[in-house]
Copies of this chain bind each other. A is one copy, B any other.
Amino acid sequence: MATDDLMTRALDALGDDGPLSAEAIHHLAGLGDLGDLPGTMTIAEVAGLLDISPHTLRYYERAGLVEVARDGNGHRLYDAEAVRRLVFLTRMRLSGMPMRDLRHYISLVDAGAHTVPERLEVLVEHRDTIRRRIRELTLSLTAVEYKIATYGGSAGPDVQTLGAAR
């Protein structure tokens, strides 16, 4: 499958709500070019990069999702691999994957290459979950738009008329 396909689909799906937010581009493009990551980063830098709090980063570490080295002062030093993993983790969190599943996935990664098939299963399952959620939300969106268009309070004309009006 061509990369362009995916890009195009994502862009198309953006619809009529104006240009991409900087944040959206950020996440789509994988937070810029991961090639020019410094060798190591501080917790504040990673927090800024991922737009999450240092508290949350420590929490992810406690949860066993990443191992992070310390410098001479005991301060965290995130190497490129840790940062890459955290980019992945935050993307998955953002898309609604529960911590539980993330822990499972990471345990597979850490268990070695023979777990690749199972990792793919997890990803495929999550992909399907995202698709379901998008469909749910699209349906809800339609209902809300309809309600706005024909507003009549909580007991006003409701979406059931949609079916009849077909």
- Chain A residues with CB under 8 Å of chain B are 1, 3-4, 6-7, 9-10, 13-15, 17, 24, 27-35, 81, 84-85, 87-88, 91-92, 94-96, 105-106, 109, 113, 116, 119-120, 123-124, 126-127, 130-131, 133-149, 151, 153-155, 158-166
Contacts and interface: CB of A to CB of B under 8 A. Distances in A.
Contact of A162 (B30, B153, B159, B165): B30
A145 B15 CA distance: 20
A156 B88 CA distance: 10
A30 B160 contact: yes
A59 to B, nearest CB: 18
Nearest to A141: B130
Given A131-B17, A161-B30, A7 B142 contact: yes
Q: What are the 6 A-B residue pairs with the smallest beta carbon separation, nearest first?
A: A30-B160, A95-B140, A29-B163, A10-B142, A30-B159, A13-B138
Contacts of A88: 154, 158
Given A85-B155, A158-B84, A137 B130 contact: yes
Given A28-B163, A116-B151, A149-B1, A10 B123 contact: no
Contacts of A153: 109, 113, 116, 119
A88 B10 CA distance: 30
A149 B6 CA distance: 10
A84 B162 contact: no
